[in-house]
Copies of this chain bind each other. A is one copy, B any other.
Amino acid sequence: MKTNNSKIVDCTIRDGGLVNNWDFSVEFVQQLYAGLNDAGVDYMEIGYKNSPKLLKGADKAGPWRFLDDEFLRKVIPQKGHTKLSALVDIGRVDENDILPRSESLLDLIRVACYIKDVDKAIELVNIFHERGYETTINIMALSNVMEHELLEAFELIKDSVVDVVYIVDSYGSLDHKDILHLTEKFKKHLPNKRLGIHAHNNLQLAFSNTLIAAEQGVELLDASVYGMGRAAGNCPTELLVTHLKHTHYKLRPVLDVIEKLMIPLREKEEWGYIIPYMITGTLDEHPRSAMALRASEDKDKAVDFYDKLTTPEVSFDQK
């Protein structure tokens, strides 16, 4: 397995923030950064760089939802080898918030988009690239994309300045055969671009899919410590650092983070392989219905939930 070009992008704070509304203390984030840096993890995605002006309920979220460069400098006064990343969404970012890279601690800005917005993603990437950042486009929900849409998107992307293009399994519904199929297609149509993968764990396949993608030459591997991320969560960082061959990652600092930060947090917050998330995964759909179920009294009523999602004449509004 030639995975020595692999780079791990830890998304614990950014994707995990979708679990706890970014309610991480500064000390938590500092300890996580120190642990990831000791482990040799390449990037830490420390939050979103969206604008609070463009989002409802912004005042209730923790600071990692709307990263501020000045605040970030206080959080990470001494940067190590681990680079910092932020994610933005189409229509939620104000380009005036983005300083030149030389004035920011951020190294990488990633743009998440659905296939129909790839043109808008490229416009944003142009701005961020111009200001000196590494850039990625993360194409979400690929399991729901038709072939011709994907080919049109590749045409736009291949001539753009973006550094890395991501395969995102938003619903956690893909298996190894899907990953082989997608990596082959991305490599064929985007031979001049590096690739990334962001997997969700609804079917317990996030780690396996990420390993198989790495073997196919996918370079940027998204993960989070103890798998913390929305709904079923992500590929666990601890598994990548211990299992990728011919790399210099260290497991022990990640175990330390799990013991000190993640085990206590998991007692308060919920993510991982939980049956309603498995159900939305196997049905290849967004986990929002399962997240609503888990927040209700019926959280363990898996059979009713399955029946609702699989009976065409019943919608959730009619129940």
Residues of A227-244 at the interface with B, using a CB-CB cut-off of 8 Å, are 236, 238-239, 242-243
Task: Fill in one digit per residue for A197-216: 1 if any B CB lies within 8 Å of its CB, else 0.
Answer: 00001011111110110000
From B211, B236, B300, A175 is in contact (CB under 8 Å) with B211
Task: State whether the Cβ of A115 lies closer than 8 Å to any Cβ in chain B.
Answer: no
From B203, B226, B252, B301, A239 is in contact (CB under 8 Å) with B203
From B176, B204, B238, B307, A176 is in contact (CB under 8 Å) with B176
Tell me the complex Cα distance, A203–B205, Å: 11
Residues in chain B near residue A259, CB distance under 8 A: 275, 300-303
Tell me the complex Cα distance, A97–B25, Å: 62
Are the C-beta atoms of A256 and B176 separated by less than 8 Å?
A: no
Q: What is the interface residue range for chain A against chain B? A: 35 or more
Tell me the complex Cα distance, A1–B236, Å: 27
Are the C-beta atoms of A251 and B282 separated by less than 8 Å?
A: yes
Task: State whether the Cβ of A255 lies closer than 8 Å to any Cβ in chain B.
Answer: yes
Tell me the complex Cα distance, A278–B207, Å: 13
Task: State whether the Cβ of A150 lies closer than 8 Å to any Cβ in chain B.
Answer: no
From B176, B211, B239, B303, A211 is in contact (CB under 8 Å) with B176
From B175, B208, B301, A204 is in contact (CB under 8 Å) with B208
Are the C-beta atoms of A203 and B256 separated by less than 8 Å?
A: no
Given A175-B211, A251-B282, A255-B275, A239-B204 contact (CB < 8 Å): yes
Task: State whether the Cβ of A263 lies closer than 8 Å to any Cβ in chain B.
Answer: yes
Task: State whether the Cβ of A56 lies closer than 8 Å to any Cβ in chain B.
Answer: no
Minimum distance in angstroms from A46 CB to a CB of chain B = 24
Tell me the complex Cα distance, A307–B251, Å: 11
A208, closest chain B residue (CB):
B208
Are the C-beta atoms of A207 and B205 separated by less than 8 Å?
A: yes
Tell me the complex Cα distance, A219–B206, Å: 25
Are the C-beta atoms of B212 and A207 separated by less than 8 Å?
A: no
Task: State whether the Cβ of A177 lies closer than 8 Å to any Cβ in chain B.
Answer: yes
Task: Fill in one digit per residue for A282-319: 1 if any B CB lies within 8 Å of its CB, else 0.
Answer: 10000000000000000011110011000000000000
A202, closest chain B residue (CB):
B239
Residue among A1, A226, A239 with max Cβ neighbours from chain B (10 Å): A239
Minimum distance in angstroms from A118 CB to a CB of chain B = 30
Are the C-beta atoms of A207 and B211 separated by less than 8 Å?
A: no
The 6 closest A-B pairs by CB, nearest first: A208-B208, A242-B282, A255-B302, A259-B302, A204-B207, A255-B303
